[in-house]
């Protein structure tokens, strides 16, 4: 395969794009609104062109001609300006428009143009800034800083804002091991959102896999690179949440923006020609296709080599291993493992998708971490009052029933979390029994109906002292359970101080104060308690990242738990002891008192 994308080399600029079935491909160079087209030369499955001069900063795109037969996967329409799948920066954000779907309608005025990148020296790579067992802090770049009073207005909502001293101080206060950035590459709104006056605020609908979103990252690759360096200087790692499972070109009614107009074979299709939709987003990228894996690997390599990121979290990660069923030994896993740039990075799977056999928790490679939704669900059930003590114990002890016992010296692979971007905030878990997504324009039908949540007697906001007190106790019990657990832990931004989304459990389309973090409404007492929990955990991080050599579960009378004790209905008290040499970490868990108490004494 040729080196794809746009590259400046020794006084010339090289362009290469994959389009195996096109009859002709043109390079389109832009100077303002003026467009010049240059026919490209076929070279194998790709089309290439060398242009004299160093064109760094020039805007470009492609057009491709060929058959128009969408039912057979042929979407060639020279009226469509196509974004380079290997683009690194764009001149504008994507916008939905009917012209994207209509054959013959020119889209040069609405589709982003890629920008020829400047040649940059790779960063000096060091081992990932990450400690297994530590705290991953998940955040939405825009929503995290839009209302931050100390961040200057011109930086709010951008990646650069994460390097502001006030933001870094908050990360340090929480002893954050790594920040996990929700998608930062350019995405397009789902078709149903613009008529509702809504936009996609989360970014899980990308078009070009490595092109930074111009709104989040107006300074392009350099801005991300500098922000990563600033976080590294504070000992904080950076994990990018990547969406490699589908494209924002959507289903058969979607637009022609990039891959669809160049190489539709990138998408998985059933025997009858229909798009396979294992993502719930209209299409699925085909990781059995070497060209798709190449694009994915080059995406990872770019963000490591040019920006120094420490790892990646993969949305709907079973797609990476579908051929068409999930294969734990899929080629993509092997290719990542042997790549010299990627082999030591941190890899995190969201181990489910919406396709057949899509739930694959515990089946990813042994050096991958996995989001453990069983931890979330079993811990919520326990504190709600209808969960089993034995299930809670399994989650606290590293979920060996799911992941098995790792080899000696290897970390526990579970990422334990109580809430994430998708679903209720943690404060809403103890304040709402039902979702309240009316603002999303889908008659409250979107989002999960069952949240394993409870409201303590009043649905939503309350000024009843007893209700407020019970919710505070529940929040503290949940958080202390998380921080006492074996494995790496994850906290979503704002949950450390009681952030609410007023019961909206699917705020992907709420780019407004409903989903933005309200720094003026922080529960500072809770925040301080979380900071102490995290600092204490950070001091003993080895004990939390690996499965303990000895765990004891004791009854109130100090005797070891028996099978009968574990199976006794309603059992809600236990002493949890982790012994490592002469050291012992002990916690008393008491559901009747809504409490988790660290207690290293020998007494109850």
Angle between helices 524-539 and 465-484 (to 10 degrees): 20
Alpha helices, H only, 68-189: 141-145, 165-173
- Residues 296 and 223 sit within 8 Å (Cβ to Cβ): no
Residue 503: CB partners within 8 Å, gap ≥ 6? 424, 428, 431, 432, 434, 435, 436, 437, 459, 460
Query: How far is residue 384 from each of residues 15, 350, 379, 430, 458, measured CA to CA in Å?
Result: 58, 25, 8, 8, 15
DSSP output for 14-49:
EEEEE-TT-SEEEEEEEETTEEEEEEPEEETTEEEE
Query: How far is residue 387 from each of residues 17, 65, 362, 424, 560, measured CA to CA in Å?
Result: 54, 59, 22, 19, 21
Alpha helices, H only, 216-265: 220-233, 259-262
Q: What is the DSSP letter of 182?
A: P
CA distance 592 to 587: 15
For residue 27, give the nearest of 44, 48, 10 by alpha carbon: 48
Preceding amide of 147 cis, omega within 30: no
- Residues 554 and 574 sit within 8 Å (Cβ to Cβ): yes
CA distance 293 to 323: 12
CA distance 399 to 390: 11
- Residues 302 and 210 sit within 8 Å (Cβ to Cβ): yes
Q: Catalytic amino acids?
A: 315, 350
Which residue is associated with the tokens 């290439």? 48
Strand stretches in 243-325, DSSP E: 311-314
CA distance 395 to 393: 5
CA distance 139 to 493: 5
For residue 405, give the nearest of 536, 538, 551, 513 by alpha carbon: 551
Which residue is associated with the tokens 């982003």? 112
Alpha helices, H only, 93-160: 141-145
CA distance 250 to 435: 27
- HEC profile for 479-493? HHHHHHCCCEEEEEC
Bridge partners (DSSP) of residue 212 are 89, 185
For residue 508, give the nearest of 229, 274, 187 by alpha carbon: 187
Q: What is the DSSP letter of 196?
A: G
Query: How far is residue 444 from each of residues 10, 45, 438, 449, 457, measured CA to CA in Å?
Result: 57, 47, 5, 9, 22
Bridge partners (DSSP) of residue 15 are 6, 49
């Amino acid at each position: 395969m040729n080196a794809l994308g746009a590259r400046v080399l020794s006084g010339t600029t090289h362009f290469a794009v994959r389009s195996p079935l096109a009859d002709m491909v043109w390079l389109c160079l832009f100077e303002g609104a003026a467009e010049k087209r240059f026919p490209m030369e076929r070279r194998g499955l790709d089309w290439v062109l060398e242009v004299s001069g160093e064109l760094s900063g020039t805007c470009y795109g492609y057009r491709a001609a060929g058959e128009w037969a969408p039912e057979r996967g042929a979407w060639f329409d020279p009226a469509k300006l196509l974004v380079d799948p290997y683009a690194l920066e764009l001149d504008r954000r994507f916008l939905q428009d009917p012209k994207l779907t209509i054959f013959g309608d020119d889209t040069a005025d609405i589709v982003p143009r890629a920008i020829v990148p400047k040649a940059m020296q790779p960063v000096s790579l060091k081992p990932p800034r990450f400690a297994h067992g530590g705290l991953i802090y998940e955040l939405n770049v825009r929503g995290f800083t839009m209302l931050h009073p100390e961040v200057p207005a011109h930086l709010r909502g951008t990646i650069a804002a994460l390097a502001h001293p006030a933001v870094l101080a908050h990360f340090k206060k929480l002893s954050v091991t790594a920040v996990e950035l929700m998608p930062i590459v350019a995405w397009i709104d789902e078709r149903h959102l613009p008529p509702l006056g809504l936009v996609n605020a989360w970014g899980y609908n990308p078009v070009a896999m490595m092109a930074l979103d111009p709104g989040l990252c107006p300074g392009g690759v350099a801005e991300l690179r500098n922000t990563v360096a600033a976080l590294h200087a504070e000992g904080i790692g950076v994990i990018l949440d990547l969406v490699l499972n589908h494209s924002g070109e959507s289903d058969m009614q979607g637009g022609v923006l990039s891959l669809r107009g160049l190489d539709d074979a990138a998408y998985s299709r059933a025997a009858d020609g229909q798009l396979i939709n294992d993502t719930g987003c209209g299409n699925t990228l085909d990781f059995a296709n070497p060209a798709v894996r190449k694009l994915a690997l080059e995406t990872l390599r770019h963000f490591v080599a040019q920006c120094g990121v420490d790892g990646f979290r993969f949305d709907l990660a079973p797609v990476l291993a579908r051929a068409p069923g999930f294969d734990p030994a899929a080629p993509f896993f092997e290719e990542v493992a042997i790549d010299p740039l990627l082999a030591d990075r941190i890899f995190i799977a969201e181990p489910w998708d919406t396709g057949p056999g899509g739930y694959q928790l515990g089946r990813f490679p042994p050096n991958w971490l996995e989001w453990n939704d069983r931890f979330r669900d079993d811990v919520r059930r326990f504190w709600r009052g209808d969960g089993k003590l034995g299930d809670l114990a399994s989650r606290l002890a590293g979920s060996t029933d799911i992941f098995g016992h790792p080899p000696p010296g290897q970390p526990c692979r579970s990422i334990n979390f109580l809430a994430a971007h998708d679903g209720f905030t943690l404060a809403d878990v103890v304040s709402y029994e039902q979702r309240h997504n009316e603002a999303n324009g889908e008659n409250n039908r979107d989002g999960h109906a069952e949240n394993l949540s409870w409201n303590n007697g009043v649905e939503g906001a309350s000024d009843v002292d007893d209700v407020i007190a019970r919710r505070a106790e529940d929040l503290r019990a949940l958080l202390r359970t998380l921080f006492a657990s074996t494995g790496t832990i994850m906290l979503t931004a704002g949950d450390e101080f009681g952030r609410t989304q007023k019961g909206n459990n699917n705020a992907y389309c709420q780019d407004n104060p409903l989903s933005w973090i309200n720094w003026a409404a922080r529960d500072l007492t809770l925040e301080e308690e979380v900071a102490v929990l995290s600092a204490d955990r950070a001091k003993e991080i080895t004990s939390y990242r690996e499965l303990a050599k000895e765990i004891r579960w004791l009854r109130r009378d100090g005797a070891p738990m028996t099978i009968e004790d574990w199976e006794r209905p309603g059992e809600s008290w236990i002493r949890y002891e982790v012994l490592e040499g002469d050291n012992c970490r002990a916690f008393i868990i008491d559901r009747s008192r809504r409490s988790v108490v660290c207690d290293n004494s020998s007494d109850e």
